[in-house]
Amino acid sequence: MQAKQRVLTGITTTGTPHLGNYLGALKPAVAASQQIDTDSFYFLADYHALIKCQDPQTVHRSGREIAAIWLALGLDTDKATFYRQSDIPEIPQLAWFLTCMTGKGMMNRAHAYKASVDENQRQLNSDLDQGISMGLYSYPILMAADILMFNAHHIPVGKDQIQHIEMCRDIAMRFNHTYGEHFVLPEAMVDEGEPKVLSGLDGRKMSKSYGNIIPLFAPADELKKLISQITTNSLQPGEAKDPDSCTLFEIYSAFASPEETLVVRQAYANGIGWGDMKGQLFEYLNDYLTPARKRYEEIMTDPAYIEAELQKGAAKARAHSEPFMQRLRSAVGIMSLVGGVETKTTGVKVKKELNQAEQAKVDAGKAKAIAIAKQRVQQEAQQVALEVEALVKTIKSSSDPKAASEQVLRALQEKVGGAKKKAKKTLQQTLELLKQQLTH
């Protein structure tokens, strides 16, 4: 039987995903997760967020919003592995291994770095690297670690991210050449229905850095207002217009069926007015997005549910990452001093081939371990939620809720400071969830 193809994608937690993110990554990723022959991995890229955002509140809030969006779009977390990047400590370890295998010349050609250098040149800065951090410079390497840690076969991306997948393949090939075959070579998976990188309000690529985005789940009134701001030309109603150079048509055709798109294309030839076209685009997008938007709003009111889903996914992800990282550490020579190094000339240590019965036993053991870990995470999340609920009731029933909340939060903070590792994590979750509940 053919092995499942593994699909992996993530979204950086620096803001709310927009329509371009949906078309380039979210839509094809969720579709892939529903295929029975696909093993899907989806994550919140919070380490990547630190490259451009040093506001802790933004990173934290964005993580919650993006997780809720994944869940609202129908991601099945029982089938897929849904996790937070920072919950997998093996990823930054692998990133360093890959950094040591990556040529500086290749990093010099990365789009994000070149764009920053070009901007410094345009500003006539004498230092062309002004304002460029090593996080930005090394971003493609961390992205490669995200992909290679789980040996993903296909990566749903927009066309502007294809270069990073090619870099990942190059880095993987160099590592394999040096240390033996450990990584599969991933391929970019671009939605054929996406005509190009989606344009934003001002006609440039839709991007948070340009401030020209349409948030995926913007409320209806905000969505209508943003669509009204999309740049058009000065042609009047009745004058024929070119749909292929128009952002309104580009966005419409990215969501609509070929038949619906053909009808609107004819309307352009007939001279549809810009106001009418903006109204038509709003109505179409609003109808398309309303069901998922409603589910998103419900999920956002339950952060404990979101956290439980992420912890369930982290347990599943680490069932892969921990043993694989041990194998990679041994491959590069980082191991106990009583062990021996498998050299390339003698061949990389090959896993023993198991017969059908042995393999079934191993698979059953792994499934049981994952189920136990999942149950434990759910129980811990439920216990935290119950404790927080009790604390909130106590605070609200006091004669001075504000003073009571400050006292409880201070006491919890003191407990966190003096707790041991496992208890400390639970107390921190309780503290964060309580803070969130008290702000509502």
**Around Cβ 416, how many Cβ atoms within 10 Å?**
16
Please work out, in degrees rounded to the nearest 5, the angle formed at the alpha carbon of residue 292 by the alpha carbons of 33 and 19. 80
Report helix, strand or coil for 434.
helix
| 54's tokens | 């040093």
CB 141, CB 175: distance < 8 Å: no
Percent of the chain whose predicted confidence (pLDDT) is above 70: 90
Please work out, in degrees rounded to the nearest 5, the angle formed at the alpha carbon of residue 299 by the alpha carbons of 297 and 300. 65
Give the tens place of pLDDT for each residue, 391-413. Answer: 888 888 888 888 888 887 887 77
Q: Which of 28-42, 51-65, 278-292, 331-345 has the lowest mean pLDDT?
A: 331-345
Return the beta strands (E) in 73-211 as ranges.
81-84, 154-156, 187-189
Q: Of all helices (H) and strands (E), which one includes residue 40?
A: strand 38-45
Q: What is the pLDDT of residue 195?
A: 45
Report helix, strand or coil for 38.
strand
Give the tens place of pLDDT for each residue, 300-331. Answer: 999 999 999 999 999 999 999 999 999 999 99
Nearest to 163, CA basis, from 208, 128, 113, 213: 113
Handedness of CA 207, 208, 214, 217 (dihedral sign): positive
Give the tens place of pLDDT for each residue, 250-303. Answer: 999 999 999 999 999 999 999 999 999 999 999 999 999 999 999 999 999 999
Greatest alpha-carbon pair distance for the chain in Å reads 82
207 band by pLDDT with thresholds 50, 70 and 90: confident
Q: What is the pLDDT of residue 196?
A: 55
345 band by pLDDT with thresholds 50, 70 and 90: very low
User: What structural domains and CATH numbers belong to the chain?
Assistant: 5-189 (3.40.50.620), 212-299 (1.10.240.10)
pLDDT of residue 43 exceeding 70, the answer is yes
301 contact partners, CB below 8 Å, separation of at least 6:
440
129 contact partners, CB below 8 Å, separation of at least 6:
117, 120
Average pLDDT over residues 82-90: 97
- Bridge partners of 8, per DSSP, are 41
Write down the H helix ranges in 134-199: 134-137, 139-148, 162-179
CB 69, CB 44: distance < 8 Å: no
Average pLDDT over residues 117-144: 92
Q: Distances from the Cα of 107 to the Cαs of 112, 113, 176, 410, in angstroms?
A: 10, 8, 19, 47
Counting Cβ atoms within 10 Å, is residue 426 exposed (0-12), middle (13-18) or buried (19+)? middle
pTM of the predicted structure, to 2 decimals:
0.68
Q: Which of 105-119, 170-184, 213-227, 258-272 has the lowest mean pLDDT?
A: 105-119
